[in-house]
Amino acid sequence: MNCKNPKVFHQQLPEEFAKYQSIDSSNNIKAENAEMSLLLQSTEDIQSFQTPDNQIIIYTIQAETENSFYKINPSGVITDSLKIDSKPAYITFVKGFIIDKRNKQYYSWSFNGSKEPIDILLQNEQLDWDVKKQQEQLAYIIKNALFVYVVYQISNPVPQNTPKGEIQMVETMANHAVLTYLSGGEFYQFYTSIDVSDQFSYIYTQKLLLNNFFKRINPKVRVSRNKEVVPSPNINYRYFEKLKKEEVYFSGGGGNRPGYYEFVFHGNLYTDVTFKNDTLKLKEFIYLNKDGYPSAIRVDGKQLGLLTKEKAKHNAPIEAYMFYTSPHLDYALFSNDEKKIYIIR
């Protein structure tokens, strides 16, 4: 990264923002009757789910094979946790259930506190059912399953040893789908060679696996950007303070694309976060690139531009601050980073 011609701004910060508290230097932001404190961190994006009895489940990844689940009661107290030693790629969180794909097991801990894995019942694992029987089972699943999680696999037969001089015959690779579904209080996995893409689209699976209080799927937006932050009336962006302007070099990426320079502002974003009858006043150091893909953050109704925590990177934008509560909770959740979650109470 190269920088040219830095320009420092000596603008006067309006007095009303002088006592805003920095979320960069403290994990606690205090107001008169409320406090925001860092609850959990993760090495990957945090996932969340609310059970029917208003327990909040938070899924974090603490280390390479450490999947940690936490249960928070309606008063905001962590009452239980579950740790699973596995690569995250083998763990799927679906509607509060935890599926261990490698061991073909699941956990119902979110709902009943049980930490014992339960075997998933397998159907047509050898792919030896005829088409009619598969179609009948698929129709049953579509009608009765509470949800269906679909993954696609490729069967790649292992070559068989043959006597010398003989031509070896090997079956060709075959695609098949594995449908993990919940029906009648039991989990099943149905293996099928039938194309199920029409019944269970990519968007369906995206919504099923979103597990995020703060975001929603926007099917009208291209796939790479179709997860958007749900706007919250509890967040009010008040002011962006420009401290310095730099011309920063960005590499062109792959394909021998040439690099380029763009102007980047160093600055502080000042924001009010309301909870019940109190207002938390926080500031965060952020880089602003007016030429980049704009975030949803607006001050006085105007978009600022691309906001990031890293000066010369466009691929980790700050889309917006995130806030969640419900009438059944005595607290709220806040996030300015998908790998962090704060509690307000």
Task: Tell me the β-bridge partners of 152.
Answer: 177
Q: What is the DSSP letter of 320?
A: -
In the prediction, which pLDDT does 335 show? 98
Give me the phi and psi of 202, to 5 degrees please. Answer: -60, -40
Low-confidence ranges of the chain (pLDDT < 50): 1, 162-173
In the prediction, which pLDDT does 226 show? 78
In the prediction, which pLDDT does 236 show? 98
The rounded distance, in Å, linking the Cα atoms of 148 and 137 is 13
Contact predicate 266/243, CB 8 Å: yes
Instruction: Indicate the SS3 state at residue 97.
Output: strand
Distance of alpha carbon 342 from the chain centroid: 15
Residue 257 CB coordination number (10 Å): 9
In the prediction, which pLDDT does 260 show? 72
Contact predicate 299/232, CB 8 Å: no
In the prediction, which pLDDT does 163 show? 47
Instruction: Indicate the SS3 state at residue 4.
Output: strand
Contact predicate 264/245, CB 8 Å: yes
Contact predicate 33/278, CB 8 Å: yes
Q: Which amino acid is at 261?
A: Y
In the numeric block, the tokens 């689940």 are attached to: 69
For the chain, helix, strand, coil in percent to 5 are: 10, 45, 45
Distance of alpha carbon 178 from the chain centroid: 23
Task: Tell me the β-bridge partners of 324.
Answer: 333
In the prediction, which pLDDT does 305 show? 93
Q: What angle do CA 286, 288, 289 make, to 5 degrees?
A: 150
The order of strands in the sheet holding 340-344 is 28-30, 35-41, 340-344, 332-335, 322-324
The rounded distance, in Å, linking the Cα atoms of 166 and 130 is 32
Residue 188 CB coordination number (10 Å): 18
In the prediction, which pLDDT does 254 show? 61
State the greatest distance between any 2 C-alpha atoms of the chain, in Å, as a whole number.
89
In the prediction, which pLDDT does 165 show? 44
